[in-house]
Chains A and B, each alone.
Chain A
Amino acid sequence: MPVPEKLSPSQLFNRCDPGQFTFETTAQLDGTTEIAGQQRAMEAIRFSMGIGHDGFNLFALGPSGTGKQSTVLHYLNRLAPDAPCPDDWCYVFNFEKPRHPKALRLPPGRACALGSDMDHLVETLFSVFPAAFSSEEYQSREKEINESFQERQGVAIEELEVNAREHDIALIRTPGGFAFAPIRKGEVIKPDDFMRLKEEERERIETEMVRLKDSLQSIMAQIPKWQRESIEKLKELNRDVAGFALKPLVGELRTKYAGFDEVMRYIDAIENDIIENFDQFLEREPSPQDMIMVGSGPSKPGPKGRFFIRYKVNVVIDNSHTNGAPVILEDKPASQNLIGDIEHTSQMGTLVTDFTLIKAGALHKANGGYLVLDARRLLLEPFAWEALKKAIRTRQIRIESLAQLYSMVSTISLEPEPIPLQVKVILIGERQLYYLLSTYDPDFNELFKVAADFEDDMDRNPENHIAYARMIGAMAMREKLRPFDRDAVSRIIEHGSRLAGDATKLTSNLQGICDLAHEADYHASQQGRTQVTADDIQAVIEAQIHRSSRIQERIREAMMRQTILIDTTSERVGQINGLAVYSLGDRSFGRPSRITARVRLGKGEVLDIEREVEMGGPIHSKGVLILSGFLGARYAAERPLSMSATLVFEQSYSGVEGDSASSAELYALLSAISEVPIRQWFAVTGSVNQYGEVQAIGGVNEKIEGFFDLCRERGLDGRQGVLIPVSNVSNLMLRSDVVKAVEEGKFSIWPIAHIDQGIELLTGVPAGEPAPDGSWPEGSINARISCRIEAMAKKLKEFESDEENGDKTKCSTEK
């Protein structure tokens, strides 16, 4: 198998031609931006927002920074203004059940008007009622009722008095009540005069007095009844007067709110209540014990008495200034911020509440529109997820105070009437969250039927180039950055490709691109430039790398000092430079690692030391097992593989995971078996399958650059290079200094498709093609390996037969 050509500099970096742009700087762009490269997600969003059925809520999933939120908001902000504006909602006092405030629905802008109308009504009643009740008509009727009671009582007593007088008996008021006494000439008869009367006379008087006493008692028994009748009459008068004074005011309200049945019923209730409590309006200032300051904020206009709170209208949703459907982004989706809350106020050390303290939540605000929530934040808030699901499932918002629910506050609370809910909920989160919820929450798939899966990257093509440019231009305009010239835009696009880890893709992590643009703008300002240029972008990229390269440099320094042994000059048997990628936060870098292989006589097992000490991950172990499969199938298909091999990542003090070193391990093993040394100025990456084909790996750019940095520090001599899987060539977006070194012939990148190509390049010895009889050409690597394995098999056989014989001899001697 011929050794492939090393890659040309143009294959190492997919340059973005600034000439393709028609603008000089982004200032010439119109500042509009379109969502690029997210067609799948956009279709899902369009579908979810378009379908009216229940449960078709949306979960926008994808890695952070891919613009999920801005894409969703961008779409909703275009969609929402054309949608109908939802109704207003307000809570009012429930005159029948004060603990259950009623919810009223009104067209947009009318709820506040109702509130003002009610305030105005109460205010007006403070002048209307006192006037009505101090009118001469009322006063005289009231007096008449009182007088008629007095008169009824008086007449009855007077009749009795007259009757008594006819019998010379007077009715006299005593300090504690009444008494009858016989009189003579207008004066009560003296006791001794009375005693001088004839006995018959005395008896007559006494009998008469008993009769009169009985009559008086029966009159007195009637008095409470008369009093009740009089009070009832007075009440009726008050109702008539209050009703008459109130009628025109309430009539106006009825005309204004005709057609709103709920409001009409509320007005009826308020009318009855005002009539029943007319006396509250006669006194302007409520007594101090009735006073309550609602909240600690500025005092509300109008009467402040607790009593009058019942006539207030608590407008929880006012859509008077809403254009179309509301789009609400709730940044803190705590339960009370979602479904609303019932606040309390302290009064004389006790917590009290009323319907005016009902606070709307995000669901109220978004009712009739769209609610956008961050899934992670939502799940972090206690009870919020369950509250949201309940609201969507039951299609109503029921405000439940958590404090009340969990007995944190044991005081009188309210149960406001639930409000019907019609909302599209959009959750935004990482893919993992979506899959976890989908797997473990049985409600989730019912309630969030649509997933908008955001791509990590997008195709790199002229349309997306211009979309990138527009995005940068719009951001520069919005955030007042310097305009970016087209070279700078091109450089950003190239960097976007590098972040995507693919020369044919662009990253969708627009947050990273925006951050880069901000840094570049700052750099340009430091340089005194009026535009951001490619140099600024380059400087910023280098600065970013530098800022995060402390560990990388420490490791390289250790290599330079030979603390970590990496050979880049000699040739060694069973030793190779593998390449590993380290990820620290959002940055990753590559570094060479020495891999060694030793073989000995054995029974065909390849021992992965990393696995033995449990420092190797399962994928790594799988890679090692694959290469032993390759080894067995190729060289020992029809004979025993009579060797044991050990493989190890030298000086590795943390775990190893991934199979990207499996080709390097195989090379080391082949070298160890064949005893042909490997050129240490090469580094290798790539996984291998059981047929010896080299397969793609991740982080190819970082790996190449990691080895390049070490070689450059030691001095590039033209021999050094990296063997990469041929399928990774399209991923190459290498640093300009690497490309430059390749251009100057100081460094090489080799695309490898098969192990045979790699081993030939690494050893300088041909791998050898198998003859039809399965033999290998003389002197080739494969032939050497084959011979060695055969020799080992023979040795093992001899050893085993010797051992068997020796044992028998020993046994017979003993006998």
Chain B
Amino acid sequence: MNAPMKTRTIRTIAVALDCSPHSKASLEAAAKMAARLSAELVGIFVEDTNLLRMAGLPFTEEIRLYSSTTTKLDEAQLERLLRLQAREARELLERTAEALTVRHTFRVMRGMVPEQLMSAATEADILVLGRSGRSPSCRKGLGSTARTALCESKRTVLLMRPGFSSAAGPLLVLFDGSEGSRNALETALTTADPESTLHLVVIDPEPESAEKLEQEAQTIVGERGISVEYHHLPQVGGRDLVRYLRMIDSGLLVLSDRMNLPEEVFNELVSEIDSPVLVVR
């Protein structure tokens, strides 16, 4: 149990930018994390080939958001608009990063958004992106890109949503003694603000093992000086877990996909919870 942890040192943080409110929250969280860990921030803007292809089709029309009128999609105009968005994203990145004196680079890629992001993420240690991007049905569930990132990315993924800050405020770490959960705790401790409260949520049905797990976690926390509160939760379904977590506090949820959680519980938890999620690989 006391085996050395193999957590990855965070040197590069990639953040997906598309000018949506989610992506702004992502940028902010990523920049703050980069500042705290002295990491490099990589802003990624993907020019969606789907859009460009669509513009090439003879009959596609754009339905304007605020007037509900339709216009013919023009390829050149679309290119122009994408360039404009990219510039906006770059400026936003520069402003945010410079304010926190963070090293940063900006990359514009063209292709299918999830694919391009995944390929960019391979060069980074953490990929930060919004729970849902500019996808039309902006509901609380996960967007297509976020879902792809969760399924396919080998890197730690931080899914942000507006109205939350990953830096300050409480952290909720799911802990079940598995290696994945130890990694998650370690990453949480690395990225957390020293002022935040860490809610360590021990998930195990057995009361006696819960105490053991708590001691184990205590060892990992060690002398970090962060204030920790322990909570015990039974092994329940994703929705119930969300409800329990809401009762504890509202903040960044840190967990690993290599925990002993059933896959459907993991997926349900990640898509239902209305706070940011850091999935540690």
CB within 8 A of B63: which of A161, A175, A187, A217?
A217
Q: Roughly how many angstroms separate A209 CA and B274 CA in the complex, as a whole number?
A: 34
Digitize A778-806: 1 where CB-to-B-CB distance is under 8 Å, 0 elsewhere.
Answer: 00000000000000000000000000000
**What B residues does A440 contact at CB under 8 A?**
none
Q: Judging by beta carbons under 8 Å apart, are A170 and B139 in contact?
A: no
B51 adjacent to chain A (CB < 8 Å): yes
A216 on interface, CB distance cutoff 8 Å: yes
Interface set, chain A 158-197, CB cutoff 8 A to B:
158, 161, 170-182, 187-191, 194
Q: Are B57 and A151 in contact (CB under 8 A)?
A: no
- Out of A158, A176, A190, A206, which one reaches B137, CB within 8 Å? A158
Interface residue? A147 (CB, 8 A):
yes
If A150-B138, A151-B139, A158-B139 touch, whether A178 touches B60 (CB-CB below 8 Å) is no
Binds A, one of B77-85, B93-101, B120-128, B226-234: B77-85
Shortest Cβ gap from B112 to chain A (Å): 7
Q: Interface range on chain A: under 10, 10 to 19, 20 to 34, or 35 or more?
A: 35 or more
Residues in A whose Cβ lies below 8 Å from that of B56 = 190-191
Q: Report the minimum CB–CB distance from A329 to chain B (whole Å).
A: 67
Interface pair B82/A181, CB less than 8 Å apart: no
Chain A: minimal CB distance from B273 (Å): 13
Q: Which of B3-11, B64-72, B176-184, B208-216 contacts A (4 or more CB under 8 A)?
A: B64-72
A216-246: which have CB < 8 Å to B? 216-217, 220-221
A176 to B62, CA, bound (A): 8
Interface size on B, residues (CB 8 A): 33
With A150-B140, A173-B136, A190-B56 as contacts: A181 and B62 at CB distance below 8 Å: no
Q: Is A344 an interface residue (CB 8 A)?
A: no
CB under 8 Å from chain A, chain B span 11-57: 48-51, 53-54, 56-57
CB distance from B277 to the nearest CB of A (A): 17
A175 & B78 in contact (Cβ 8 Å cutoff): yes
Are B60 and A180 neighbours in the complex by a CB distance under 8 Å?
yes
Contact of A157 among B64, B73, B136 (CB under 8 A): B136
Contact with A along B125-162 (1 / 0, CB 8 A): 00000000011111110000000000000000000000
Query: B225 at interface (Cβ–Cβ under 8 A)?
Result: no
Contact digits for B202-246, partner A, Cβ 8 Å, 1 yes 0 no: 000000000000000000000000000000000000000000000
Bound together, the chains give a CA A143 to CA B274 distance in angstroms of 10
Is the CB of A154 closer than 8 A to any CB of chain B? yes
Neighbour of B59 across the interface among A158, A176, A187, A209, CB < 8 A: A209
For A187, list chain B residues within 8 Å (CB).
Answer: 49-50, 53, 112
Q: Would A157 and B137 count as touching, CB distance under 8 A? A: yes
Q: For residue B139, which residues in chain A have a CB less than 8 angstroms away from its CB?
A: 150-151, 154-155, 158
Q: List B contacts of A622 (CB < 8 A).
A: none
Bound state CA distance, A304 and B62, in angstroms? 51
Name the distance in Å between A201's Cβ and chain B's nearest Cβ. Answer: 13
Q: Which of A161, A173, A179, A221 contacts B60 (CB 8 A)?
A: A179
User: Does B61 interact with chain A (Cβ within 8 Å)?
Assistant: yes
Instruction: With both chains docked as a complex, state the minimum distance between the C-beta of B7 and any C-beta of chain A, in angstroms.
Output: 34
Q: Cα distance A797–B139 when bound, in Å?
A: 142
How many angstroms from the CA of A139 to the CA of B267 in the assembled complex?
Answer: 26
Known: A174-B78, A176-B81. A188 touches B68 (CB 8 A): no
Taking CB atoms and an 8 Å cut-off, the chain A residues in 114-168 that contact chain B are 143, 147, 150-151, 153-155, 157-158, 161
CA distance A154 to B137 in the complex (A): 4
Chain A's nearest CB lies how many Å from the CB of B255?
22
Report chain B residues within 8 Å CB of A174: 51, 54, 62, 73, 78, 81
> Nearest Cβ in chain B — how far from A145, in angstroms?
14
B73 neighbours in A (Cβ, 8 Å): 174, 179
| Alpha-carbon distance A175/B136, docked complex (angstroms) | 12
Q: Which A residues from 86 to 128 make CB contacts under 8 A with B?
A: none
* Bound-complex Cα distance A154 to B100 (A): 36
A572 at the interface (CB under 8 A from B): no
Cα separation A220 to B70 with both chains bound (whole Å): 12
Chain B residue contacts of A180, Cβ below 8 A: 60
Contacts of A177 in B (CB 8 A): 62-65
Q: How far is the CA of A153 from the CA of B85 in the complex (A)?
A: 25
Q: Do B140 and A172 touch (CB < 8 A)?
A: no
**With A181-B54, A194-B57 in contact, do A173 and B63 touch (Cβ < 8 Å)?**
no
Q: In whole angstroms, how far apart are the Cα atoms of A221 and B67 in the complex?
A: 9
Bound complex: CA A155 to CA B136 (Å): 10
Instruction: Judge whether A213 is part of the interface by a CB distance below 8 angstroms.
Output: yes
Using known A-B contacts A154-B137, A161-B137, A179-B73, determine if residue A213 contacts B61 with beta carbons closer than 8 Å: yes
Nearest chain A CB to B90 CB, angstrom units: 16
Knowing A157-B137, A174-B73 are in contact, say whether A179-B53 is a contact too (CB < 8 A): no
- The smallest beta-carbon distance between B66 and chain A, in angstroms, is 8
Of the residues A155, A191, A217, contact of B57 by C-beta under 8 Å: A191
| Chain B residues within 8 Å of A179, by CB | 54, 60-63, 73
| Given contact pairs A179-B61, A217-B70, a sample of 4 additional A-B residue pairs in the complex whose CB atoms are under 8 Å apart | A177-B65, A191-B53, A191-B57, A217-B63
Instruction: List 23 A-B pairs, Cβ < 8 Å.
Output: A143-B274, A150-B138, A153-B138, A154-B137, A155-B137, A157-B136, A161-B137, A171-B136, A172-B50, A175-B78, A176-B62, A177-B62, A178-B65, A178-B136, A179-B60, A180-B60, A181-B53, A181-B60, A191-B56, A213-B70, A217-B68, A220-B68, A221-B68
Q: Can you list the 3 inter-chain pairs with the closest CB atoms, starting with the nearest? A: A154-B139, A191-B56, A181-B54
